[in-house]
Structure formats: structure tokens, C-alpha cells
Amino acid sequence: MKVTVDEDRCCGAGTCVLLVPEVFDQREDDGVVMLLEAAPAEGFHAAVREAANVCPAAAITVAETA
């Protein structure tokens, strides 16, 4: 799995951090998403997909790799 985030689209709602704080965080100065782990461990895959699903700004993209 490869995760990318679009900082320009992010609206800082924090829904991704709520679901997977191991993979997502927010910048201290403006609350915009920070990707902590672009290739998260398998145990986080379902939660990361859900974070992309509920992101209100569609700022998270998940590419499934073999």
C-alpha cells in the first residue's frame, strides 16, 4: 500500500488522525495533514482505507501495491 496526501485540499478536520494516529498527524501551525508513514504496515491498511473514505476533502489517496 502506498499513501499520498494532498496538503492543498486538506481542510484540517482531523478525521484521519482520529482513525489512524499512527499514520496521520496535523501540522502544528495550521492543522494541515502530515503523512507519518507512506507505506503503512498491513495491520493499518483497513483503517487507512477508511480514513481515505471518510476524508471530507478527498485529500487522501491510497494505491494498493502488491
Partner 1 sequence: MTSTVETSPAGVPDFPMERAAGRPFDPPPAARAKQEESALTRVRLWDGSTPWLVTRYAEQRALLSDPRVSADIASPGYPSPAPLPKDGGSRISFILMDDPEHNRLRRMVTAPFSMRRVGAMRPAIQQIVDDLIDELLAGPRPVDLVDAFALPVPSLVICELLGVPYSDHDFFQDNSKVIIRRDAGPEERMAGHAALTGYLDRLVGEKEAHPADDLLSGLAVRVTAGELTRAEAAQMGVLLLIAGHETTANMIALGTLALLEHPDQLALLRESDDPRLVASATEELLRYLNITHNGRRRAVVADIEVGGEVVRAGEGLILANDIANRDTSVFDDPDRLDLTRDAHRHVAFGFGVHQCLGQQLARLELQIVYSTLYRRIPTLALAGDLADIPFKHDGSVYGVYELPVTW
Q: Looking only at residues 14 through 53 of this chain, which bind partner 1 when binding is defined by CB under 8 A? A: 14-15, 17-19, 21, 25-32, 53
Give the C-alpha separation, 64 to 17, whole Å: 21
Q: Cell digits for 57? A: 476533502
CB 66 within 8 A of CB 46: no
Neighbours of 51 (CB within 10 A): 23
Least spacing, CB of residue 32 vs partner 1, in Å: 7
Taking CB under 8 A as the criterion, the residue among 1, 35, 36, 57 binding partner 1 is 57
Residues that bind partner 1 (CB under 8 A): 9, 11-15, 17-19, 21, 25-32, 53-54, 56-58
